[in-house]
Amino acid sequence: MLVCGLPKFAKMVAIMIATIITHPSCHLHKMPEGHPECPERLDVINNQLLASGIDGLLYHREAPAATDEQLLRVHSADYLQRIKSAVPTAIESLVNFSDEVYLSPNTLLAARHAAGAAILGVDMLMAGETDAVFCNVRPAGHHAEHSRAMGFCIFNNIAVAAAHALEAYQLERVAIVDFDVHHGNGTQNIFYNEPRVLFCSSFQHPFYPCTEIDNVPGNIVNVPLPASCRSDGFRAGINEFWLPALTRFKPQLIFISAGFDAHIDDDMSSMSLVEQDFVWVTKQLRDFVDQSQTSENSLEHCKGLISSLEGGYDLPALGRCAMMHIKALAKLD
């Protein structure tokens, strides 16, 4: 018997169940024919969850739409208005809004729900309903800057959710980690010099979007990796830079910009990571959260992990990587 989608016994013994958040509108955002950022990306993740047998062990929620107030915490009013004005109304219309960003009639609705998914994740974690969330949404977000759309991204989903955590719950420290193969320039732009946000990004370098990564403030931890990078180089960078920074910062929530386009099968990059690399980094973050709970100081406890889909364009590899990432978030392996 289910109670609000959760097994009754889980409610009784307060077992934490990982949560998948999505919305049907995320399928309705259209790109040009044959574009790699396609609705099928969401489907392959759902299919892998079903095929692996773990889908029934997860809590499923439908994302709300982010409000203007929530979006304006990280984006300018002028930018939001330009998006609203540019969305076409004619069925099947497509507008090239900016650098690899296209708008179709349902794009704004999809983008609001993509940002709203991570906001709901924050609310669920803060209410103690879950301690790990994966947002299976599109369009992605980490390239979207304060006043600029870039690289398939319209609203910076993770940044919107992080700002919600700071504003609505008065958290003092949140961390955002980004293992997409492209640098999270939008997240860096939004939280540059924001001491309450630690931003850690690993990425192929030099590569799109060619962000300025040197001489950044102390809350930004950039880990540039060569095009030839394999598992050992990726893991060494995380161990040397990310994990010590997280230990010093003691975040109360961790957000993950989860891009899987550094996989060896993905033509979007030249890096050669494999599924187990994404499992490994997820487990490092999962272990960090669990260990933080042992601190005698409750202000140093990390409530959990909120992950949102960014890149990943080889469909079979994306499905496998995302499923294994979710499995590690949920501690089901």
Tell me, yes or no, if the pTM score tops 0.75.
yes
Report the CATH superfamily, name and number, of domain 18-329: Histone deacetylase domain (3.40.800.20)
Residue 3 has pLDDT above 50, yes or no: no
Domain ranges of the chain: 18-329
Q: Distance (Å, rounded) from C-alpha 88 to C-alpha 115? A: 21
Whether the predicted pLDDT of 8 surpasses 70: no
Interior angle at CA 160, CA 156 and CA 166, nearest 5: 145
pLDDT of 218 over the 60 cut: yes
Percent of the chain with pLDDT over 90: 92
Between β-strands 132-135 and 101-103, what pairing exists: parallel, antiparallel or unpaired? unpaired
Residue 53's pLDDT band (boundaries 50, 70, 90)?
very high
Residue 73 has pLDDT above 60, yes or no: yes
For residues 315 and 261, is the Cβ–Cβ distance under 8 A?
Answer: no
Report pLDDT for 211.
Answer: 94
């030099």: which residue's tokens? 206
Task: Provide the pLDDT for residue 11.
Answer: 41
The answer to whether 29 is a known catalytic residue is no
Angle between helices 107-126 and 77-86 (to 10 degrees): 140
Q: Which H or E run contains 43?
A: helix 40-52
What percent of the chain has a predicted confidence (pLDDT) above 70?
Answer: 95
Q: Where residue 15 falls among pLDDT bands split at 50, 70, 90?
A: low
Q: Is the pLDDT of residue 234 over 60?
A: yes
The secondary structure element, H or E, covering residue 59 is strand 59-62
Distance CA 92, CA 3 (A): 40
Report the SS3 class of residue 97.
strand
What average pLDDT is seen over the chain? 95
All residues at 6 or more sequence positions from 166 whose CB lies less than 8 Å from its CB, including other chains: 174, 196, 197
The one catalytic residue in 23, 75, 142, 143 is: 143
| pLDDT at residue 13 tops 60 | no
What's the pLDDT at 16?
A: 76
pLDDT in tens, 102-159: 999 999 999 999 999 999 999 999 999 999 999 999 999 999 999 999 999 999 999 9
